[in-house]
A = this chain, B = another copy of it.
Amino acid sequence: MTVRLQTEPLDPEVEVRTFRGRLDESGALVTFTGLMRGQDGIREISRMTLEHYPGMTEASLMAIEKEALERWPLDDCLIIHRIGEIMPGEPILLVAIAARHRQQAFKAAEFLIDWLKTKAPFWKYEEDSDGGRWVGARSQDDKLAKRWD
């Protein structure tokens, strides 16, 4: 059970290898990597900056992880989130879930990400050649999070 925020680049494969090495009797390992997209369909995004609420962000990720562990029989669980400056193509978020069977692992992974996106205090600032803007919340994310109420 690990929650980590880091300004350094995130290497998902190194993290997953370590995570997998600690597993014992898990039959299923699901991972999700959120990658920074260099365009949003309209603009070319040159850089993103992730702001967070020191203290509350970590506590909120731990609470989300705890909730997942109460809802599903998981063997282990990892959340790593970048903060600070992020360049296109770089991983922003890694979630890894190990369980006996795949169903629980998939459900828990989707749950963690849905709650993280709507309940953990992070804010994205995007920059392109015209300047910068704060990314607005997606109503789709609120809809997805409601699945778990």
Question: A23 to B90, alpha carbons, bound, how many Å?
Answer: 11
Interface of A is mostly: mixed
Which residues of A31-65 are within 8 A (CB) of B? 31-39
Q: Known interface pairs A27-B37, A37-B25, A37-B27. Does A102 touch B17 (Cβ–Cβ under 8 Å)?
A: no
* Distance between Cα atoms of A31 and B20 in the complex (Å): 13
Q: What bracket does the count of chain A residues touching chain B fall in?
A: 20 to 34
Decide if A113 is an interface residue (CB 8 Å cutoff): yes
Alpha-carbon distance between A31 and B34 when the two chains are bound, in angstroms:
12
* Chain B residue with Cβ nearest A103: B144
State in angstroms the CA–CA spacing of A110 and B106 once bound together. 8
Is A74 interfacial (CB 8 A cutoff)? no
Across-interface contacts of A33 in B (CB, < 8 A): 20, 28-29, 31
The residue on B at minimum CB distance from A106 is B110
CB contact under 8 A between A35 and B28, given known A12-B16, A20-B12, A106-B106: yes
| Residues of chain B with a CB closer than 8 A to A31's CB | 16, 29-31, 33
Q: List 21 A-B contacts (CB under 8 A).
A: A12-B20, A13-B13, A13-B14, A13-B16, A16-B16, A23-B89, A25-B37, A26-B35, A26-B37, A27-B35, A27-B37, A28-B35, A29-B31, A29-B33, A29-B35, A30-B109, A31-B31, A32-B105, A102-B110, A102-B113, A106-B110
